[in-house]
Amino acid sequence: MTPPQPTLAELRARVQKGRHREIGNWLARRVARPTAVYGCWLAVRLGLSAHQVTAAAWLASLAAAAAIGTGDRVGFVLGVLLAHLAFWLDHVDGQVARWRGTASLEGVYLDYLMHHAANLALAFALGYGLAVRSGDLRWTIAGLALGTGWTLLSLHNDCRYKAFFQRLKSTTLSYRIDGGSGGRPRPPAAWPRRGWAVLSWPAYKACEPHVVLLGLTGLAGLAIATPALWLALWPAGVWTLAILAPVLGIARIARAVARATVEGEFARWFQPLDQRSAAPPTAAFPPAAPWTSPLPDCINDG
C-alpha cells in the first residue's frame, strides 16, 4: 500500500531549517528555500532520494557551463536559467533529506564536490565562451584565472577543516568538542562603514556564488534586450573577476597564515581533556570580525 503523500503544509513545518529566513544569502532566504518546498513535494511523489536530487543539481550546473561555453547569445541565456535550476535543486535536496530522515555526511560530501565542480566549470565556461565568440584563446586564460580564484576562496574553508582532522588523526590527546565555539551560522553582516573593510567587503561579496548568479541574470537580461551592451559587459566582468578573485583568494590565505587563525579556530572548537597539554587560551584568538568570516560555499543550505 502506498504511504500517504505529504501536503505542502506538512512539508513546510518539517523540512525548513531553523531561522531559514535569517541565515544565509538573500537569494537563498527569499527565493530558493521558500520555493524549494514545491520541488521537495514533487521529488517525494516521484520517489527521488536526496542524493538523486543532488545529482540532478550537478548535471544542471554542468549543463549551464556547457551552454554558456558555446559563446552564443541563446546559449548564454539558457545557461543562466540552468544555473538557477542548479541553485534551486541544491536547496531541494536538503529538504528531501530532512523529510525522509536521510540527512547524512555523505549528502554534505556530495554537496561540497558539486559546488567545487560547478564553480570551476562555470568560471572556465565564462572565459571559453568569449574565446569561442571572439576567436581569442586568451579568454580561456581569464576563465582559468577566475576558476582558480573562486577555488582558492572556497578551499580556504575546506582545507582549514581538513587541517583540523589531520591533527586529530595524528594526536594521542583526547579532546572535548565545544559545539559552536568556532562559530555558528548567523545572519549576513552589514557593509562596514570604516576601515579597509569598506572596500574589501564588497570585493569578497562580488565573488560569492549567489552574487555571481545575480550578475549573470542581469547579463542574460541584457543579452535579450540589448545584445550590444551584453557583449560589452560580459568580457569586462570576466576580466574584473579574473583579476579580483585570485588576489582575494591569496590575500585571504595569507591573512589566515599570518594571524594563525586556523590554530585559533581549532583551539575554540577542541579543548584538550589533558589540561597539561592545553592549547593557548581561547581569548588569545578572538573571533574574526563579521566582514572577514569565510566566504559562504552554499553548503547544502536548503
C-alpha angle 285-288-294 in degrees, rounded to nearest 5: 125
Query: What is the value of pTM for the model shown?
Result: 0.86
**DSSP characters for 96-149?**
HHHHHT---HHHHHHHHHHHHHHHHHHHHHHHHHHHHHH--THHHHHHHHHHHH
Instruction: Report if residue 263 sits inside a domain.
Output: yes
Instruction: Report if residue 68 sits inside a domain.
Output: yes
Instruction: Report if residue 132 sits inside a domain.
Output: yes
Instruction: Report if residue 254 sits inside a domain.
Output: yes
Distance CA 180, CA 167 (A): 19
Cell representation of residue 157: 574553508
Enclosing domain of residue 257: 8-292
pLDDT-based confidence at 3, cuts 50/70/90? low
Does residue 114 contact residue 58 with C-beta atoms inside 8 Å? Answer: yes
pLDDT tens digits for range 32-42: 889 999 999 99
Instruction: Report if residue 1 sits inside a domain.
Output: no
Q: What is the pLDDT of residue 189?
A: 77
Instruction: Report if residue 3 sits inside a domain.
Output: no
pLDDT tens digits for range 222-260: 999 999 999 999 999 999 999 999 999 999 999 999 999
pLDDT tens digits for range 174-212: 998 877 777 777 777 788 888 888 888 899 999 999 999
Instruction: Report if residue 160 sits inside a domain.
Output: yes
C-alpha angle 202-204-209 in degrees, rounded to nearest 5: 110
Percentage of the chain beyond pLDDT 70 is 88
Burial class (CB in 10 A: 0-12, 13-18, 19+), 86: buried
Instruction: Report if residue 163 sits inside a domain.
Output: yes
pLDDT tens digits for range 9-20: 889 888 887 776
Of 56, 118, 66, which Cα lies nearest the Cα of 92? 56
pLDDT tens digits for range 136-175: 999 999 999 999 999 999 999 899 999 999 999 998 889 9
Is the pLDDT confidence value at 281 over 60?
no
pLDDT tens digits for range 76-88: 999 999 999 999 9
Number of compact structural domains in the chain: 1
CATH of the domain at 217: 1.20.120.1760
Of 20, 129, 41, 47, which Cα lies nearest the Cα of 92? 41
Cell representation of residue 130: 568569449
Does residue 299 contact residue 112 with C-beta atoms inside 8 Å? Answer: yes
Distance CA 47, CA 105 (A): 21
